[in-house]
Each structure stands twice: as C-alpha cells, then as structure tokens.
With several copies, the nearest count.
Chain A
Amino acid sequence: MKKIEAFIRHEAFEPIRAELLDKGFPSLSISEVKGSGRQKGVVEHYRGSTLTVNVRPKMKLECVVDDKDKGVVVETILKHARTGDVGDGKIFVIPVEEAVRIRTGEDGEAVLQAHEEEEIPA
C-alpha cells in the first residue's frame, strides 16, 4: 500500500476529488498547510509597514491506495493540479505497511478504497 501525499493549490482539490471518486477512489483526507518552495513569499502592507510572509497557504491531500493504484491517483492529481506556474506543489509517495478499517476492524488492502452498494450517508 502507498500513501500519496500531495501539496496542491486549493482550487485544484475539487476536480481531483470528483475524478478520483469517478475512478473508484472515494477515500481521501485533506488538511490546511502552509508551505514554501520555489514559489516565493509575498510582501504585504499593514499600516504603512511591510511584512514579508514566507509561507503560502496550500492544501495537503492524503490518499492511501493499493500499490497498483498509485499510478492512476498520481496521474489524476497531476492532471488537475498542474497550471504550469510556480507554486503547483509536489506529490510524494510513502510506503504504508498496514491499514485497518475502524468500523469493522478488518485490515489489508480491501479496506482502502472499495465501496459496496449499501453505502449510506450517515
């Protein structure tokens, strides 16, 4: 199993989420981060003084998938997160040794993204 961690622009998330859902990868998590990278900080003004902000808001997307699905997820992220401008972010792939679905206690790759029919919004 692999965890795909991507640091992306906020506006890229929704299309990624939608396409991943379509392709059968409904499960993922996001969080707010701030980052610095190739994209430089901005100089802002406050009451006549300047303030250099060295980090910029980004979104971190985490998605654990079966080894074989790694490629398609990375592709999907690349497809939507890429504007070609500095600040698009990065994708990292990290090994995962184990996965447990809390609801059932079952573990293994089966728990990652598979969706049965009887899903309910609860």
Chain B
Amino acid sequence: MTKRLGLIALLALAVSLVLPGMAFGQEEAIDPAALDLELDNLWIMVACALVFLMQAGFLLLEIGFSRQKNVGTGVAKILVNLAVITIAWWAIGYGINSASGNEIIGTSGFFFRFDQTIGEGADAFNVAGADAMGMLFGLAFAAVSLAIVWGTTLERIKFSAYALFAVVFGALIYPIVAHSVWSGIGLLDDIGGKEVLDFAGSSVVHLTGATAAFAALLLLGARRGKYGPDGKPRAIPGHSMPLVGLGVMILWIGWFGFNAGSALATDDVFFAEVALNTQLGAAGGVLGASLAIWMMTRTLDVGMAGNGAIAGLVGITAGCGYVEYWAAPIIGLVAGVLVVYGVVLFEKYLDDPVGALSAHGLAGIWGTIAVGIFGSARLVGEAASPGVWYGIFGDADLGASLGQLGVQAVGVAAIFAFVLVTSLAAFAAIKATVGLRVSEEDEMAGLDIASHGMYGYPEAFIPQEEYPSGDHTPAVAGTPVAMPAKAAGKA
C-alpha cells in the first residue's frame, strides 16, 4: 500500500499538471470540504503532538524539583502513567467523555474502534479518521491532567498508586469533568441558560489535576524533614534548575498546541489569536511571579519564575479563546502573583514540592473566573455573556455579566468538589489496600533504589571502582576480538 516514493513521484506529477491550471477529469475532482476537514485535523494532529510533548515538560519539572535519590522513579512513572491512561481512555474514558448519553456521562464509544457508532439518533456518527484524531487529542488532555496530579506527591508515594489512580482518573474522573463542560450536553453547559466558558481547560484540565493532587497530599502527608520540630517548613531544594527550566520551556511550547489546538479548526486563522493570547498570558505570568518573589525576598527565585510561566499559561487557558489581547497579560500577571503567594502560603501546611496546587489549582481557578471578567462580546458566543469589565466599562449588560461570573464560579466549585470527593475516595481506597506511602527507610534511601533497584543517577551513587577491569570477552561465534587486558590500566 505505502509506496512512499512512488507516491511522492505521483504527487510531483500532479503538481506539474496542476501548475499550468489544467482542468482535471471528474473522478479526480477534489472537494474543498474534504480539504477543510483534513486541514482542521492536521492542525489537531500538530497540536496533539505538542500536547503530548508536555509530558516531557512535566517529567523534567518533577525531576528537577526532586532530590537526586528520587529522579528515576519520575521517569518510570511518566511512562507507566501514560501507558495506563492510554488504555483506560481507549477502553472507557473516551466513551464516558463523549458527546453521547446524558448530562452526567457519555454512554457510547467504549473500546473505541473504527466504524463504531457513537451517540444516538440524529447526532449519531460512525467513527472515522477524524474521530480517531479527536479521541487522541482528548487523551492528550487527559494525560496532562493526570500528570499534574503527582506534583504534590514526589519523593514519598508508592509506585503502585500511580498506576491504580491513573485507571480511575483516566476512565472516570477526568472524562466526567470533560463531559460536563465540553460535550455540549453536559451539566455545566447550561446553568440558567449560560454555559461555563473554559476554552482549553483552566478548570477542566488544570484545576482537575490540581484538585486530585490536593486529595493525594491530604492522605499522604509531608516528606520527612519538611517541617521542623517547631512546625516551621524547611526548604528541601530540588536538584536541578536546568531540568526545571527545560521543562518549563517545553511546557510553554506545548501550550500552543494545548490552547490554540483547542480551536479544533483552522477557520479564519482563529487559532493564531488564541496562540497570541497564550504567549501574552505566559509573559504576564513570568513577570507577575518574578516581581512578587523579588519584592518578597529581594531575590529572583528561579523555580518561581518557572512557576510563574506555568501559572500564566494555566490562567490564560480558559480565556485564550474568549478575551482580547490586552486582557491576556493582565490575566497572566495576576496568575503569576497568585502562584507566589500561594506557594509561600500553602508551604506552611502542605508539602507540595513543585507548586502544583498554586500553579495549576489557584491559577486554574483564577483563569476560569477571569473569563467572567474579561470575556469579550466578540468571542464568548451566544450561550454566554461578556465579562463584568465590559459590563462596567463597556456597553454590556452588567447583570448578565455578573451572571456569567457566577456561572464561572459555579463551574469552578462544581469541578473542585466533584474531583476532591472522588479523588479522596480513590486514594483512600488505595491507601487502605496496597498503601499510599513508602516506608520510612525507603523514603530515606530514596525511591529510586527502593522501588527501582537502582539510583536514577547510578554512577553518581555507585563508586566507579566497582567496575574493575575484566579480562573476559564472551565467546560468540563471529567475534574474533579478544581484548587482552593489560595487567593494570592507568588513569
């Protein structure tokens, strides 16, 4: 089937035919509508790759904020998590999240397969290529939400908890949230005639992840040594800001796919407006956090600048398709300031090594609320109202605007409450059965050696002299090489 080069040749042929503007026979006629569909889905594919790339960003962020003895487990975790949620989403999650069924859950699309019928009646459709694209894009978002969960749990959680919670979260918790906001028929789609506006998921993805992270933390407790005998928190610095920085940059780039990809189409090049808002939001976040931490400590904490970027991005995620450019840096700025105060405040009681509660939780809440403030009439659509800003300074109806603000708040509250309860239940069940936290000895030794049999930086922990020169070369047919080792080498 795939004749790579033959096809290219054919294409070339085609181009030479096309360029002179020759007419085509009927059977070769290309329908612009098909092209439009392909174009939209090509954009989603690109966005999808960018969103999956974010996994690498989360990986690096977590590793960088961990101590050296706990870095390998992050690698194993991200791989196993991504694998588990892929299967969970394919089998169940996508169906629950799909635009079928009732306002609570979708009811078709399980064990996703080609030509499967999804939905009922007039809305029903049979799965084709574009649906595979949508399904994969949905998975990428679910995986981001799941990745956020673990930021609070570093350096002490049992590995099995990752896999187990990933099943519940990917099959049920996240899909139900996504269904409620994005399916077009969900609970949060019609609150007194208004819908909750969350363009790319400040709440659906980020708050959801952060809330589950909160639930995990409540049941897990702080790392040994995080709080002194006086109850005061102590800094437990991670081991690598370069990895944190690379992670943040990767997340930033991935976010173009996350937000602008959520336009789900290339129509009117609207995705570019979303992308620009995203960039402006991120910029605001960095500046907000940098200024806040500098004013607080007279020093520019590197990790906080990174958290600021992420908070800016999370903050603009709900509004990136609904606000004008001028509002984006403001939203980001506030998110950046929030993340600093959030981290410093939460730190007093909650041990959140990467700052997920603030960067994804607080900023996610703020971002969703901010749509109720800055949502532009041009963009929010018919089922929603412009933000209160326009109600006060513009010509929008202030009552309706306040209504929308309320709806946004209800959306946030509903998602927070739902995810908190279900996640607490899930983690409590894990804790009661296989256990949630490693033993004290394992925590001290580090998760890498305890759960994975080897340090994540093996050579740094294992002395080099453990590999003395050997003079044995195994006899393999065809191996004419014998490396006679000299009596002793020289360094």
Binding site for B on A (CB under 8 A): 9-15, 30, 34, 44-57, 59, 83, 85, 87, 122
Contacts and interface: CB of A to CB of B under 8 A. Distances in A.
Interface in B340-382: 340, 343-344, 347, 355
A30 B465 contact: yes
Contacts of B491: 9-11, 56-57, 87
A52 B301 CA distance: 16
Contacts of B299: 45
B469 interface: yes
A43 to B, nearest CB: 9
B343 A48 contact: yes
Nearest to B300: A45
A87 B454 CA distance: 20
Interface centre among A14, A15, A45 (most CB of B within 10 A): A45
B470 to A, nearest CB: 10
A46 B454 contact: yes
Given A9-B491, A12-B488, A122-B490, A49 B234 contact: yes
Interface string B170-189: 00000000000000000000
Nearest to B452: A45
Size class of B's contact patch?
35 or more
A55 B307 CA distance: 29
Given A47-B235, A83-B490, A14 B465 contact: yes
Nearest to B461: A57
B463 interface: yes
B464 A47 contact: no
A54 B355 CA distance: 26
Most buried by B among A9, A44, A53, A55: A44
Contact of B464 (A10, A15, A44, A48): A10
B487 interface: yes
B293 to A, nearest CB: 6
B466 interface: yes
A68 B465 CA distance: 28
Interface string B453-479: 110001001111110110000000000
Nearest to B449: A44
Contacts of A53: 462-463, 466
Contact of A48 (B237, B347, B487): B347
Contacts of A52: 466
B383 interface: no
A34 B340 contact: no
Contacts of B233: 49
Contacts of A55: 463, 466
B461 A11 contact: no
Interface string B277-310: 0000000000000000100110101011001000
B490 A48 contact: no
B304 A47 contact: yes
Given A30-B463, A83-B488, A45 B468 contact: no
Contacts of B487: 83
A9 B489 CA distance: 9
Given A45-B453, A55-B463, A50 B235 contact: yes
A21 B129 CA distance: 67
Nearest to B296: A48
18 contacts: A11-B465, A14-B465, A15-B468, A44-B462, A45-B235, A46-B235, A46-B237, A46-B303, A47-B304, A47-B307, A47-B344, A48-B301, A48-B344, A51-B454, A56-B491, A83-B488, A87-B490, A87-B491
